[in-house]
A = this chain, B = another copy of it.
Amino acid sequence: MHQNPLIRNLEYRDHLSEEERELLDAGLTRVRTIAAGTDIVCEGDRPSESCLVLSGLSVRYNLMNDGSRQISAFHIPGDFVDLHSLLLGKMDHNVGAITEATVAFVPHTYLREIAAAHPHLGRMLWLSTLIDAAMHRRWIVAAGRLDAAGRVAHFLCEVFERMRVVGLTEGMAFRLPISQSVLGDAMGLSLVHVNRTIQKLRSLGLIRWQTDVVEIVDWNGLQEISEFDPDYLNLKKVPR
């Protein structure tokens, strides 16, 4: 159980050597607190560092011409939110903090160095972006072929599993301090319909969700209607 949630995240997928863990820790020099509702990185930026969420929730999103927002990813502690900016030049989306968050900014030069000098560590960083991509694919599938209840259920299953990895669940419950409007922006649904969908999940006896705490009452039921299969999260510890 490591302090640095990135290490915890990666250790869940493959063993890290003492040296690798130290290199990752050594990168966390510039740590900042971000106020809720503030952007961490903006579309068009050309960051020279990548940011890692240590605490709090953040999202990647795009704004549409009509002012609406689409969230393409949720990030919880241990996630390297914009590791991809290491190789992609200009940001093609924004990253914003949903709750107050503490993030560490790790210089690209440093990441490049440790990835080159320590191939396995480089692969582990690569891996974390590949898991992001796998989640993106699932979101596409969910958006394309599941109804509102299935999509929300899938989201809850995914977040639960990810929170569990970094020790943010208690039994079958976890804190999820997001408004229904934010959830709508992530699911591609209207606020009103998100509300009705959550009520449906409640009345089906699948979840409880009061204030900030989501409790999964019927895991199997949630899995069924969302066709959730955790394989894509790569939660097995194997040599990579």
* A238 cross-chain contacts in B, Cβ below 8 A: 89
Which one of A157-165, A197-205, A226-234 is at the interface? A226-234
- In the complex this chain forms, how many copies of it are found? 2
Question: Is A134 a contact partner of B92 (Cβ separation < 8 A)?
Answer: yes
The answer for the CA separation of A188 and B89 in the assembled complex, in Å, is: 30
Using Cβ atoms and an 8 Å threshold, which residues of chain B touch A90? 231
- Please provide the chain A residues from 64 to 113 with a CB less than 8 Å away from any CB of chain B in the complex: 64-65, 68, 70, 72-73, 84, 87-90, 92-93, 112
Evaluate contact between B134 and A70: CB separation under 8 angstroms.
no
Interface of A is mostly: helix
CB distance from A78 to the nearest CB of B (A): 18
The distance from the CB of A47 to the nearest CB of chain B, in whole angstroms, is: 14
Is A144's beta carbon under 8 Å from chain B? Answer: yes
The contact sample of 7 A-B pairs, CB cut-off 8 A, is A64-B145, A84-B134, A87-B123, A87-B127, A126-B126, A136-B139, A143-B143
